[in-house]
Structure 1
C-alpha cells in the first residue's frame, strides 16, 4: 500500500513539475541572443543592399527600419529575386511592410527576409515581440493583453517620426506567433492595411499546446498534462490559451491574404493553417501548401516564396 501511495505521489510531483516548467516556457520564452549571421547584416548592411536604422519606441519596443541602399549594388539574394521577376518593373516606393517574427525569435531573424522585400520596393519595419529580443516586457500573453492588440500601432506612431506614413500603403507579414500578432493588430489598428502575408500560423493556440503535449506524452497522458497546464496558467497568470483564437478574429478581416504552410510542419499542423485560411472573410486570398516545408525550412524550399508573396502584395495595392 505504501509503495502504491509513493508511486502516486511521485507521479503527482512529476506532473506538477512538468506543468510548472512548461508554464514558465510559455509565459517567459527563452530570449534568443544575437547570432553571428545577425552581426553580418548589422555590421555590413551595404553588402546586403540595405540600410538599417535602430530605434526604441516611446513604450520601449525595439525596432529596425530596413530600406534599400544601392551604393554597392544589389546583393546576391536581391539579384536572384529580380531575375525571378522577369519583366516586372519594381516600384521605388511600394509601401511599408511590417515583419513579425515567431516565438523564441527576434527582429534580427527577419533581416534576410527584409533584404528580399526591399528589392521589391518595400520599406520594412521589424520589431521585437513582447519578452523577445531586446523587449523589456516581463511576460508574453500571445495577443491577449490590450497593449498587445495595439503593439504595431504604437511602433508605427514612433516610426512616423522618421518616415511619414500618411500617403504610404501599409502591409503586414507574420510568421507563426508573429502571424497571430499580425491578425490581432490588423483587426484592431486605426490604420488600413492593404494586404497580409502569413507563414506557418495557427488557428488556435490551445491546439498547438495540446498537440505538442500529446506528441511527447501520448494522447491520454498528454491531454491530462495540457488540462493541468491550462488551469495552472489561468490560476497564476490569468491566461487561458483557448482565448488566443486567430481563426475567430479572421472572420472579421477582408484584406487580401497570402498564406504558406508546410505539410511536414510538426509544431503547427498544416490542417490548422487550412482552418485559419478558411476563416478569413477575404475574397482575394491564396494558400500555398508546401509539400517539402516544415516549421523551420518553410522560407527556403523550392517554392519561390518571396517572388509570389511580394507580387501578391503589390497586386493587392493596385
Structure 2
C-alpha cells in the first residue's frame, strides 16, 4: 500500500512538473505573441493604393517622427479618380441629408490606430471614406508592429502619448492646424485611442472605438481557450496567468493593467463605441461595459449586426463608415450640441 502511495505521489509530482514546464513555455510564447506579434509586410491592396493614391481620392505623404516612429499623412484631393468607396460614402451621407464640404476639404484630423498584428497601411481603405467626408488622416505604426523600431507594445499604457506627439509633429511639418482633432481605433487600436483620450482629453474633439476589449486579461484568457483542447480547458486560467507573468517580466505590465473601461470613465467628450454582435473573441458585452462607463451624454453605441471580430468594418460596410463620419462631423459642432444616444 505504501509503495502504491509513493508511486502515486511521484506520478503526481511528475505531472505537476510537466504541467509547470508546459505552462511556462506557453506563457513565454503567448506573451511574445501579445507584446511583439509577427510583423506583416505590405499587402497587395496597400501597394495598389500607394502606387496610385489619386485613383482613391487620396494624397499620401510619409514622414518619420523624431523618435523614429513612421507615419503617413493622408488627405483628400479636389479632383479624385474613381474613388469608389469615397463616392459611396458621400452618397450615403447625402442621402441622410448631411451637407458635405467639397472634395479635398480638411475640416479636422483623425489620428488612427490599427488592430493587433497590423500596420498603419491597413487603414488606407478607411482613409478613403474619412477623407471623402472632409477629414485628413494621420496613421502611425506602434511599437512592436509595422515598421516601428520599438520591439514591445503595451496596448496604450505607453503609447497613449503617441497620438498627441504624432499630431504635433505632423502639423508642424505639413503646416496644418492641430485642432480640431479626433481619435479612431480598432480592437487594440481602440484601446490606445481610449487611453490617449483619457490622458489628454483637452486635445481631442471626439473618439471612436471599434471592437475594443474592456480589459486586456479577458482576450488573453479567450485566446488560451481557443488554443487549448476542450479536454484541457480547465488549465486555461493557469495558462492565461502564465502569459500575464511573462508579459510582466518582459514588458513591465500585467494584461489586467490595460483597462479601456477605466479610461472610458474619464471621458467628457463625444464618444462612439461600435461592436459586432457575433464577436467570439471580444464579446459585445465588453463594448457595452465601455459604453456604460462613459459619463458624458454625448455618446453613441453602434451594434454591427452579424459581425465577428475580424470583419466588423467589412460587415458594417458603407452604413457603418457613414455612421462614423457622421459622428465626427457632429463632433465638430459646439460642445453644447445634443447627441442622439443609443443604448
TM-score when normalising by structure 2: 0.87
Aligned-pair distance for 1:276?
A: 0.8
2:3 matched residue in structure 1? none
Match of 1:159 in 2: 170
Q: 1:69 to 1:18 in 2, by over 3 A?
A: same
**C-alpha displacement at 1:248, in angstroms?**
0.8
- Which of 101, 107, 111 pairs up with 2:120? 107
Residue among 208, 214, 232 paired with 1:203: 214
How far has the Cα of 1:112 moved from its partner? Answer: 0.1
The answer for the alignment partner of 2:88 in structure 1 is 80
Q: Pick closer, same or farther for the CA change 1:280–1:72 going to 2, 3 Å.
A: closer
* Stretch of structure 1 that moved more, 245-254 or 190-199: 190-199
Distance 1:234 1:74 in 2: 49
Aligned to 2:66: 58
| Partner of residue 179, structure 1 | 190
Deviation at 1:200, TM superposition (A): 0.3
Distance in 2 (CA, whole Å) between partners of 1:305 and 1:153 is 26
Report the CA distance between 1:279 and its aligned residue: 0.8
**Are 2:219 and 2:281, in contact at CA under 8 Å, matched by a contact in 1?**
yes
Which residue, out of 239, 248, 255, partners 2:253?
A: 239
Aligned to 1:71: 79
Displacement after TM superposition at 1:239 (Å) = 1.6
Q: Tell me how far 1:291 sits from its aligned partner.
A: 2.2
Give unmatched runs, 5+ long, in structure 1.
none
C-alpha distance after superposition, 1:52-71 (max 9, x if no partner):
00000011111101111243
Structure 1 residue 308 corresponds to structure 2 residue 323: yes
Q: 1:131 aligns with which of 132, 144, 149?
A: 144
**1:190–1:278: structure 2 CA closer, same or farther, 3 Å change rule?**
closer
Please give the secondary structure, in 2, of the residue aligned with 1:197: strand
Is the partner of 1:292 in helix, strand or coil?
coil
* Structure 2 residues not aligned, in runs of 5+: 1-6, 334-343
Please give the secondary structure, in 1, of the residue aligned with 2:122: helix
Aligned residues of 1:262 and 1:298 also touching (Cα < 8 A)? yes
CA distance in 2, matches of 1:289, 1:312: 15
Tell me which residue corresponds to 1:89: 99
In structure 2, the residue matched to 1:263 is 277
Q: Highest Rg: 1 or 2?
A: 2
In the alignment, does 2:236 pair up with 1:222?
yes
Q: Does 1:24 align with 2:38?
A: no
**Paired residue for 1:298?**
312
Q: In 1, Cα distance between the equivalents of 2:177 and 2:49?
A: 29
